[in-house]
Amino acid sequence: MTKLWIIQFTLEMFLLPVLVPAALAQGVHHYVGQITSNSALIAWGTTAGRGNTIGRESVPLGKAKVLIDGRNLPAEKNWLVVGGLRPDSNYPYEITVDGRSIGKGTVRTYPEKSDKLTFFVMGDWGTGKQPQYHVADFMTREFEKRRSTASPVRFVLTTGDNIYADIPKPIAFHSGEADSDWEAKFFVPYQKLIAEIPFYPSLGNHDGNDTEKRGDLPAYLDNFFFSNNIPARYYTFNYAGLADFFALDSTKSTLEGSPKEAYEKDGEQHRWLQAALAKSNAQWKIPYFHSPPYTAGPYHKPELSKLAHFVELFRQRGVRVVFNGHEHNFQISDSAKTGGITYVITGAGGELRAGDISQKLAKAGMKAFAAEHHFLVVEISGKRMEITPISDTGRALGNYVVTLP
């Protein structure tokens, strides 16, 4: 087996220069990794071939340029941060590799200040199956419908379980550790969306060796882009002075060694969150992460006991809404029963767990649920937030309001 592995490795290294140009013939993907009020990160690559072919550290496909804002900018990697842009402005762009056009799109920079924001939230989504594609289709429709309005959709938050294995442990087949695993589960279903707005993800247990393969986590950190263009398991970003978002890690996945809690009290992440929330001056402080402190099931139990220190910190720092996943349905809490904070579970972007939990809602502190595939449309206007789950048939599953004091 060792000799076979050496032969395979040697062949891959020898063939890599051949595979990269060949990938161009099979098509490439392009996507927006980040947007600010004066910049945009545009990335591209292929999921064909072996090795790292798309993402932050991927092997360059060739001599690339990005045409944007009347500039033809060279790129040394499979991505480029374009600066010097005007706030809240549309910028068509085109990517060429070795003189050949491989992708086009339009980015809209964020305003420097605003009291309005619309974004999507979804969780437990990367299956590559038909329901995921139906949800993605209605996300794209909603994005297009709002494109020219006063509050277009600016980004997508994910509440974890971004890429699922086709077959679970112990095999964990196509679990997300290879770029090819991302083809049908990310780059294809959201291709129209990601050409224009970024995904800002959070980790789920299926994104690493908590539940699947250790190699899933490095791929996640490479293929997504994060605040300050630094790979991060937890991070924060601001939108137009209106809202600070806090992507947190509620998993046990590790880059080396056995699985270990990333969320322990007084641990590195907890200390970081204390400092980050203390520095936040935004009206809206919005954490999002995988494991729900409050849920009525039907499969997972509430994680309040292990995340009590996070929940208490949210209460102390004026958080009014939190987004979670993990349970494969939609649920929303009664804030009067959940410490003055509304907890929203959106865990059915691709997976779904059927079951009537209506009799369990009150005891769990929840006020409504829907066992349907969906994503959330979240609209902020000043101190008012409207949350609307949209099903994979395009039907609104309710409308819920959260307000600041």
Note the pLDDT tens digit of each residue in 45-100.
Answer: 999 988 999 999 999 999 999 999 999 999 999 999 999 999 999 999 999 999 99
Sequence-distant (≥ 6) Cβ neighbours of residue 173 within 8 angstroms: 165, 166, 167
Contact (CB, 8 A) for 374 and 392: yes
Contact (CB, 8 A) for 250 and 211: no
Q: Which amino acid is at 199?
A: F
Arithmetic mean of pLDDT, 382-396: 98
The mean of the pLDDT values for the chain is 93
Enter the DSSP assignment of 360. Answer: G
**Segments of 241-382 assigned E as strands:** 243-247, 284-288, 321-324, 330-333, 342-346, 366-370, 374-381
Tokens of 266: 């007084």
Distance of CA 199 to the CA centre of its chain: 4
3-class SS of residue 299? coil
Sequence-distant (≥ 6) Cβ neighbours of residue 113 within 8 angstroms: 240, 241, 242
3-class SS of residue 187? helix
Note the pLDDT tens digit of each residue in 236-278.
Answer: 999 999 999 999 999 999 999 999 999 999 999 999 999 999 9
Higher pLDDT pick, 12 / 343: 343
CA distance 219 to 182: 9
The pLDDT of residue 171: 84
Tell me what percent of the residues of the chain surpass a pLDDT of 90: 90
Note the pLDDT tens digit of each residue in 296-339.
Answer: 999 999 999 999 999 999 999 999 999 999 999 999 999 999 99
Tell me what percent of the residues of the chain surpass a pLDDT of 70: 93
Higher pLDDT pick, 82 / 27: 82
The pLDDT of residue 22: 41
β-bridge pairing 284-288 and 342-346: unpaired
**pTM to 2 decimals?**
0.93
Helix 304-316, helix 268-279: angle, nearest 10: 20
How many CB atoms within 10 Å of residue 137? 14
Q: Which amino acid is at 294?
A: Y
* Residue tagged 């995988």 (tokens): 290
The pLDDT of residue 27: 67
CA distance 235 to 321: 17
3-class SS of residue 270? helix
Q: 401: buried, middle or exposed (CB in 10 Å: 19+, 13-18, 0-12)? A: exposed
Note the pLDDT tens digit of each residue in 87-146.
Answer: 999 999 999 999 999 999 999 999 999 999 999 999 999 999 999 999 999 999 999 999
Q: 155: buried, middle or exposed (CB in 10 Å: 19+, 13-18, 0-12)? A: buried
Nearest of 77, 76, 22 to residue 49 by alpha carbon? 22
CA distance 382 to 400: 16
Say if residue 19's pLDDT is above 60.
no
Say if residue 13's pLDDT is above 70.
no
Note the pLDDT tens digit of each residue in 128-138.
Answer: 999 999 999 99
The pLDDT of residue 15: 36
Say if residue 371's pLDDT is above 90.
yes
The pLDDT of residue 49: 86
Phi, then psi, of 146 in degrees rounded to 5: -100, 0
Say if residue 170's pLDDT is above 50.
yes
Domains of the chain: 2-108 (2.60.40.10), 116-403 (3.60.21.10)
Say if residue 166's pLDDT is above 90.
yes
The pLDDT of residue 168: 80
The pLDDT of residue 11: 33
